[in-house]
């Protein structure tokens, strides 16, 4: 299994993800263009602003290239904005998205920044919970038949997996806990 | 909201700096109306700064510049999904409390407004909303971080369209970071004294080689090349104030500046991006400003 990890570096907290994967011994590259994407085996889409990143993915052709690679089985992990980018459906909103993961998301489901928070969430199959930082975070409101729910917070779905696609509402990359990143490397 | 309403300082700190991290590589634009906010969002701004007058107009009008009307800030919040920031006067913690009550996403304790306190800045640790503050050098940046700022921006000279002070401030901060990083451990005490900065934060800069919080740039940025220049000098993103809505074709210029921040390292793309943008804001040479008319010297 190869571990050249690409982190979408158009906008957002990509440097935090890069630091985590470098710490796990992976080769990490910044991805902005379709050419950059060709150099990596898996992709992380970080937190950031989904309307900003969506339009840039569309205009520079990187979005189309990601869709092709996803169809060919490339693992992708989206955190917060990244999960919105992966979602097939976004509530009350028409915006560019990759439409790969069979979920409906609600953007900014907890409100403005003063309602951002940090909490422990249990992850399916794990003994120890994960510290989850939610920042103007989305939630998952509907899932398709093949989507596995990995975590809930107060009955709201906040982590999902479908095949090689992983989506989380929260930001493990802002904490010292690298377990989810390590698990993504096994996809 | 978290922990049943109990504020855990360390945790809110991570959330505050976390939002600043999410804004990296984006462009934050000054807007004065919901229409401008929508133009900024359509042009892929990562956040907007809601204010009644852009700095160029504040400079022209003179008088006391204060926090914007809450009604206008709420109308802008209503108009867009991206984070909304707003400015309070330096030291005016009640304006900051009002902005927090309005649930803006970031408060800019800004020298662009008339200072309300000539000695004390706002105690930003006391708030759940994160703050951004301006700085001209490392000491000023670390004093603001010590007070709880979750993001630092260069001051530049707002409302001029002249990037020279933003360049000076960014070069100064980056040079002083390198000096602290290269120093011996036993020299850090004197460096803390020289920079008038908290020793703990000088130690952190020594260890990490960067500011404790994201380091953005503002003040006089008017073109895609200006934005790319600031990124190359070490900025992690840029604020564009008067430069967009004082130009001939705001929507187009806004998008070009967003693109230039993504591709700041690619001169060929920058050449494409810089084509046919219409008239830039006219601008004022900072060297023609009287010292008392410079905004960057406000704050201490």
The mean of the pLDDT values for chain B is: 91
| The predicted structure's pLDDT at residue B9 | 55
CA B164 and chain centroid, separation: 16
- Mean pLDDT confidence for A32-49: 96
B-chain CB neighbours of A113 within 8 Å are: 15, 19, 83, 103-106, 129-130
Q: What is the mean pLDDT of residues A72-95?
A: 94
Is residue A150 scored above 90 in pLDDT? yes
Average pLDDT over residues A20-26: 95
Beta bridge partners of B108: B87, B132
CB B161 within 8 A of CB B222: yes
pLDDT band at A37 (very low <50, low <70, confident <90, very high): very high
Task: State mean pLDDT over B5-28.
Answer: 78
* Subunit contact A118:B263, Cβ cutoff 8 A: no
pTM: 0.90
CB contact under 8 A, B22 and A107: no
pLDDT-based confidence at B295, cuts 50/70/90?
Answer: confident
Q: Which of B47, B37, B14 is nearest to B216 (CA)?
A: B47
* Percent of chain A residues topping a pLDDT of 90: 88
- Grade residue A144 by pLDDT with cuts at 50, 70 and 90: very high
Residue B77 has pLDDT above 80, yes or no: yes
Question: Strand A101-106 relative to strand A87-90: parallel, antiparallel, unpaired?
Answer: parallel
Q: In angstroms, rounded to a whole number, what is the distance separating the alpha carbons of residues A42 and A5?
A: 5
Q: What's residue A35's pLDDT?
A: 95
Q: What is the pLDDT of residue B11?
A: 56
Is it the case that residue B95 has pLDDT exceeding 90?
yes
Tell me whether residue B11 is one of the annotated catalytic residues.
Answer: no
What pLDDT was estimated at residue B281?
73
- pLDDT bucket at B62, cuts 50 / 70 / 90: confident
Q: Answer whether B7 touches A (CB < 8 Å).
A: no
Nearest neighbour of B129 by CB, restricted to A11, A14, A114: A114
* Set of chain A residues whose Cβ sits within 8 Å of the Cβ of B262: 10-11, 32, 56
C-alpha closest to that of A14 among A105, A109, A97, A79: A79
What does the pLDDT average to over A88-114?
92
Interface residue B57 vs chain A (CB under 8 A): no
In B147-249, alpha helices (H): 164-182, 188-195, 199-208, 224-232, 242-245
A127, burial (CB in 10 Å: exposed 0-12, middle 13-18, buried 19+): exposed
Q: Which residues of B touch A9 (CB under 8 A)?
A: 25
The residues of A annotated with a catalytic role in the active site are 80, 171, 173
Considering only CB atoms, which chain A residues are within 8 Å of B105? 112-113, 136
Cβ of A10 within 8 Å of Cβ of B25? The answer is: yes
Over residues B261-286, the mean pLDDT reads 87
């Amino acid at each position: 299994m190869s571990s050249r990890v690409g982190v979408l570096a158009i906008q957002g907290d990509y440097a935090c993800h890069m630091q985590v994967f470098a710490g796990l011994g992976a080769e990490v590259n910044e991805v902005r263009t379709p050419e950059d994407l060709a150099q990596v085996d898996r992709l992380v889409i970080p937190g950031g602003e989904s309307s900003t990143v969506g339009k840039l993915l569309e205009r520079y052709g990187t979005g189309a290239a990601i869709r092709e690679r996803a169809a060919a089985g490339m693992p992708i992990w989206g955190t917060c904005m990244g999960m919105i980018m992966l979602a097939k459906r976004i509530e009350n909103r028409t915006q560019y998205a990759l439409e790969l993961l069979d979920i409906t998301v609600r953007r900014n489901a907890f409100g403005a920044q003063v309602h951002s928070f940090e909490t422990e969430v249990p992850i399916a199959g794990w003994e120890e919970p994960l510290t989850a930082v939610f920042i103007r975070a989305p939630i998952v409101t509907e899932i398709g038949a093949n989507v596995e729910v990995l975590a809930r917070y107060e009955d709201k779905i906040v982590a999902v997996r479908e095949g090689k696609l992983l989506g989380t509402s929260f930001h493990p990359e802002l904490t010292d806990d690298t377990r989810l990143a390590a698990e993504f490397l096994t996809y | 909201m978290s922990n049943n309403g109990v504020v855990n300082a360390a945790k809110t700190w991570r959330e505050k700096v976390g939002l600043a991290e999410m804004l990296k590589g984006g462009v934050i634009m000054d807007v004065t109306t919901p229409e401008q906010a929508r133009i900024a969002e359509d042009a892929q701004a990562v956040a907007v700064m809601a204010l009644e007058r852009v700095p160029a107009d504040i400079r022209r009008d003179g008088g006391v510049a204060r926090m914007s009307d809450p009604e206008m800030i709420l109308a802008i919040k209503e108009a867009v999904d991206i984070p909304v920031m707003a400015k309070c006067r330096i030291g005016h913690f009640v304006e900051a409390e009002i902005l927090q009550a309005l649930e803006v996403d970031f408060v800019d304790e800004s020298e662009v407004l008339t200072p309300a306190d000539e000695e004390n800045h706002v105690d930003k640790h006391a708030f759940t909303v994160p703050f951004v503050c301006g700085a001209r050098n490392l000491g000023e940046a670390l004093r603001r971080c010590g007070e709880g700022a979750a993001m630092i921006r260069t001051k530049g000279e707002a409302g001029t369209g002249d990037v020279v002070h933003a360049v000076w401030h960014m070069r100064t901060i980056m040079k002083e970071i390198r000096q602290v990083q290269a120093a011996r451990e036993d020299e850090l005490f004197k460096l803390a004294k020289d920079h008038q900065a908290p020793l703990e934060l000088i130690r952190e800069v020594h260890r990490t080689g960067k500011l404790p919080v994201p380091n953005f740039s503002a003040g006089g940025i008017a073109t895609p090349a200006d934005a790319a220049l600031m990124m190359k000098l070490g900025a992690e993103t840029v604020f564009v104030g008067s430069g967009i809505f004082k130009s001939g074709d705001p929507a187009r210029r806004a998008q070009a500046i967003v693109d230039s921040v993504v591709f700041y390292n690619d001169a060929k793309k920058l050449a494409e991006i810089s084509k046919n943008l219409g008239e830039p804001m006219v601008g004022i040479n900072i060297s023609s400003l009287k010292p008392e008319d410079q905004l960057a010297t406000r704050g201490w």
